[in-house]
Structure 1
């Protein structure tokens, strides 16, 4: 096993990989329940029929697990990275509330669009086009992406714990930090920080477990049991629809392109950011074995659509495992096994509150800031595009939007700053595509 994954060569250990895989799973386990709660709204009749709701919720939960576990296992065994994948937040909301409920597209046709998007991903990955595009993104943007993702996941943790709240006057404000949820997160964050500083193995995982236990005393943690019956996936399995009429319909391709656009840059940005934080990236910012990594999420999207879930993508929560010391695909294998185990132990997984995983997100976010020192802030043609990329991710609640605006700003500022010769020709093409995306597809 050590030879297959190169554990010793990477400076890791089996224990670190296991801890890392568990930590990643715990920080992303919420998607097993959040994803079906969003996608089930796309099914007609579920809002008024409790039995129908339960059937489709269970089926989508199974689809979520199988799609994510398949992609994560491939990421571990073939790409050998500690990156986990699952149906993407944001993409599931777009699927339900925009494509199905707003545009009036049948949910089965929407699944067909997800399937087509996944196939396109596989094709451009096999041909090397995806790697070429990823490598054409400026190093400054790649570094800023990692830090931006750090801010983004920290924002998710702060928001989920109630430490920050919405405000009519200032948009966001400090919440009630004496609430049970906020206290659970704050205590967990201090535990993680102290143990990490003392180099205690499993510090992030210990913090999550400690927060969960503390939450049980203040009414945050609700124990839902341990073992439950595996839901029937039949209501969604193989239900995607593709027809000649669909393929000839412009609206269908707009849906496909939107899924493709958001997923491509969410995944690319997430992988680049995680690679930077873990030290996987080469000096030019590119990712070794990127074709295998991209193939894992493309395959996961195809498999997920067949079982009945929206686009599968790489998860920023993988940073929790990386912070725990994970450096190889063994961590991903552990995460995928734990995901599959939720087919049997779904009540137990649902007992971990978001306030207990929030400390890990906040702490990991702080660790992802370290790459910013490599940016030449004295050069505004480098610093400003990086800054735009960095701040727009949390401010727009979208990794893809941060990359989009940063990639538009980079060549424009470089060109008018008298450094146009330093711009890769494909960067201009990407910038133009991003502008068209903002104007017509977003």
Structure 2
């Protein structure tokens, strides 16, 4: 069913890969309830919605797309939901969930029509490789920041902390990275997963892995916030229908739409490049099924009571552990379902234990940079901009945005207009319009 032999993998390897991906992204189970809870949503209900929506979307990814990609409520998108939409713009969390639902429905339609797949195919080959490399640096930076290895209070713009007991998390992450490197060089199967487990255990005496008193690993899940939507709030203000209210909702809707679209596209391109999950034409295998899974996840997530569900770059850690099929995704989904009842156990894994996996994946994804044609400046410069922008803007979607715009500019100046696909022209125009809109907003 999953073409294991064809893709050169085994059941055991896929399960290890699925577990690795889950452990690398398990932080969302702790972060999302805390963040959305600031809007007035019940944190326990959000935890249940987070785990369930991640499990359902990832199961769809595994069975429909047969790709080792996991999904969950996206970081960045949940911050926009909380701090911009609810706190900044004064919208209720019910209205924010309504925007997430409508975005998911529209994406589902576009996915079935093949429009999102066409966008992926329109991205030039060198940019696709650059997206993979950029994501590698991006998630490496996430790992470094989560562990406290890099910080902005070191006397420079950003620098490395000293590895001493006052920075126990950073020290533990470095120890975990050394363990992971040794295991990988020695070709130990499941090196990344073993590294996460070992680092978690080592963190106990260091005080980084915190085991509560009277620790009980089992707990019953809370009831999710089912169908808590506010459709009237789309256009109805205190004085009835108001264009300003509708305009504000459209801004919210479009922001959710574009961020989710290009975060997902970037993740799929990165994982496909790393795991060689491409067809003979260089396109992502089963891209339509993957995009449908992403859309279904967002719709289900909104119905359960959580922010936009998207594909996770941490899936790269599972691919690095050998994941090549949807069976890895199904293993990840199973862990999310189990986490509903064992949340205290899974939440023991500190960020310092998953950081080495993310940092090491940066190396694995960097290897494809040699395939980029840097000799041709009209190809090399857009690729460089894409790679540079992702970690420094802390955004996959912005990396794609600046890369596509630079690609069009370079091809125009280099008199290679024929190299620019029609959809790429359209994307560049949309991206430029978005930059102008943000500048004048």
Task: Give the TM-score of the pair, scaled to structure 2.
Answer: 0.94
Map of 2:226 onto structure 1: 237
CA distance in 1, matches of 2:21, 2:146: 17
Confirm whether residue 123 of structure 1 aligns to residue 123 of structure 2: no
CA distance in 1, matches of 2:411, 2:153: 37
- TM superposition shift of 1:197: 1.6
For the residue of structure 2 that corresponds to 1:147, the secondary structure is helix
CA distance in 1, matches of 2:216, 2:388: 41
For the residue of structure 1 that corresponds to 2:88, the secondary structure is coil
Instruction: Provide, for residues 40-91 of structure 1, a one-character-per-residue CA deviation record: whole Å limited to 9, x for no partner.
Output: 1112xxxxxxxxx7xx010001010111111001101111111000000000
Map of 2:62 onto structure 1: 76
Map of 2:240 onto structure 1: none
Is contact 1:240-1:308 (8 Å) kept?
no
Q: How does 1:197-346 map to 2 (within 5 A)?
A: 197-224=185-212, 225-234=215-224, 236-243=225-232, 245-246=234-235, 249-282=246-279, 284-346=281-343
Instruction: Provide, for residues 174-201 of structure 1, a one-character-per-residue CA deviation record: whole Å limited to 9, x for no partner.
Output: 1122232122111111111111122111
Is contact 1:162-1:176 (8 Å) kept?
no
Is contact 1:143-1:273 (8 Å) kept?
yes
Change (3 A) 1:259 1:172: same
CA distance in 2, matches of 1:354, 1:380: 39
Is contact 1:226-1:347 (8 Å) kept?
yes
- TM superposition shift of 1:106: 1.1
- Report the more deviating stretch, 158-167 or 14-23: 158-167
Is contact 1:166-1:173 (8 Å) kept?
yes
Is contact 1:70-1:300 (8 Å) kept?
yes
Map of 2:176 onto structure 1: 188
Is contact 1:226-1:346 (8 Å) kept?
no
CA distance in 2, matches of 1:388, 1:409: 7
CA distance in 2, matches of 1:335, 1:172: 34
- TM superposition shift of 1:243: 3.1
- TM superposition shift of 1:124: 0.4
For the residue of structure 1 that corresponds to 2:159, the secondary structure is strand
Q: How many residues align?
A: 427
- 366, 369, 373: which one aligns with 2:366: 369
Is contact 1:237-1:307 (8 Å) kept?
yes
Is contact 2:95-2:233 (8 Å) kept?
no
Is contact 2:234-2:249 (8 Å) kept?
no
Structure 1, unmatched stretches of 5+, are 44-52
- TM superposition shift of 1:231: 3.4
Instruction: Provide, for residues 378-398 of structure 1, a one-character-per-residue CA deviation record: whole Å limited to 9, x for no partner.
Output: 111111110110011110111
Structure 2, unmatched stretches of 5+, are 237-242
Is contact 2:46-2:305 (8 Å) kept?
yes
CA distance in 2, matches of 1:365, 1:258: 28
CA distance in 2, matches of 1:218, 1:77: 41
How much is the aligned-residue C-alpha RMSD, in angstroms? 1.5
